[in-house]
Amino acid sequence: MDTTPEEAAQVVALLQQGLSQRAVAAQLLLSLSAVSRVYKRFQETGAFNRRQRTSRHRCTSERDVRFIVSTSLRNRHLTSVDVQQELRRVQGVAVSEWTVRRRLKEANLTPKRPAPAPN
């Protein structure tokens, strides 16, 4: 588990006060390797925050997302599988039905069940 910038600041402050890494780890309930890693990062960069990480590549472009959303809005009765097949047919982009559901959810388009017909 990553340490927060506040925890990292505490680690560095305690180490600079003269405590051992083992004592700091015990006091802050962190592993010895976490304390060592935080202090090493502080010595290299002078900062407490974590390194920037790269995110996973998205399989849909902005254009694909607009197509998914507009197709769903044009016909609210289409299922995610129908939208997926339409995306594959028109745009030539193969994505899973779960990707379609996630993109619709990101656009605040959640699935709804039709209301029961009055008797």
Residue 82 Cα distances to 26, 71, 72, 76, 77, angstroms = 56, 10, 9, 11, 9
68 in a structural domain: yes
Same structural domain, 41 and 66: no
Same structural domain, 68 and 39: no
What is the domain range of residue 100?
62-106
22 in a structural domain: yes
Same structural domain, 10 and 41: yes
14 in a structural domain: yes
- CA atoms of 59 and 85, how far apart (whole Å): 15
Q: If 0-12 CB within 10 Å is exposed, 13-18 middle and 19+ buried, where does residue 17 land?
A: exposed
- CA atoms of 111 and 47, how far apart (whole Å): 45
- CA atoms of 83 and 70, how far apart (whole Å): 10
Q: What is the pTM of this model?
A: 0.56
Whose structure tokens read 């998914």?
Answer: 68
32 in a structural domain: yes
24 in a structural domain: yes
117 in a structural domain: no
The domain tally of the chain equals 2
30 in a structural domain: yes
Same structural domain, 41 and 75: no
What is the Cα 85 distance to its own chain's centre? 26
Tens place of pLDDT for every residue, the chain, 119 residues?
Answer: 578 888 999 999 999 999 999 999 999 999 999 999 999 988 888 887 777 778 888 999 999 999 999 999 999 889 999 999 999 999 999 999 999 999 999 999 988 777 888 87
37 in a structural domain: yes
